[in-house]
Structure 1
Amino acid sequence: MKTLTDIDTGLTVSWLLKDENIKEECSKFQPTREQILKFFNKAQRVEGFVVTKDRYTPCFTSGQITWRNGSSASWNLYSSGTASLLLDNGETIYLYQRDYHWFDPTECTYGLGDEGEC
Structure 2
Amino acid sequence: MVKKIFVMLCVFFTINIAFAGHMATRKITGIKIDETGKTEDESGNVKNGCLAFKITERDVTDFFSEAYPVPLSFNVHDRYSPCYAKGTIEFSNNTRGKWKIFSSGGGTLRWDTGDVVTLFYNDYKWTDPFEGTYTSDDELD
AA aligned to 2:54 is Q
Trace 1:64-75 onto structure 2 (pairs within 5 A). 64-75=88-99
Kindly indicate whether structure 1 or structure 2 has the higher relative contact order, using CA contacts under 8 Å at least 6 residues apart: 1
Match among 35, 41, 50 for residue 26 of structure 1: 50
AA aligned to 1:66 is E
Give me the TM-score of the superposition, normalised by structure 2.
Answer: 0.73
**Secondary structure at the residue paired with 2:65?**
helix
More helix by share: 2
Per-residue CA deviations over 1:43-62 (Å, capped at 9, x if unaligned) read 11111111111101000000
More strand by share: 1
> Gaps spanning 5+ residues in structure 1: where?
none
Aligned-CA RMSD value: 1.8
- 2:67 pairs with 1:43: yes
Give the Cα separation in 2 of the matches to 1:74 and 1:85.
6
Per-residue CA deviations over 1:55-103 (Å, capped at 9, x if unaligned) read 0100000000111111111110000011111111111101111111110
**Secondary structure at the residue paired with 1:98?**
coil
- 2:15 pairs with 1:2: no
* Structure 1 residues 6 and 103, CA gap change in structure 2 (3 angstroms): closer
Kindly report structure 1 stretches of 4+ aligned residues shifted beyond 2 Å: none
Cα deviation, residue 112, structure 1: 5.0
- 2:104 pairs with 1:80: yes
> Gaps spanning 5+ residues in structure 2: where?
1-27
Q: Rg larger in 1 or in 2?
A: 2
- 2:130 pairs with 1:109: no
**Secondary structure at the residue paired with 2:84?**
strand
**Secondary structure at the residue paired with 2:104?**
coil
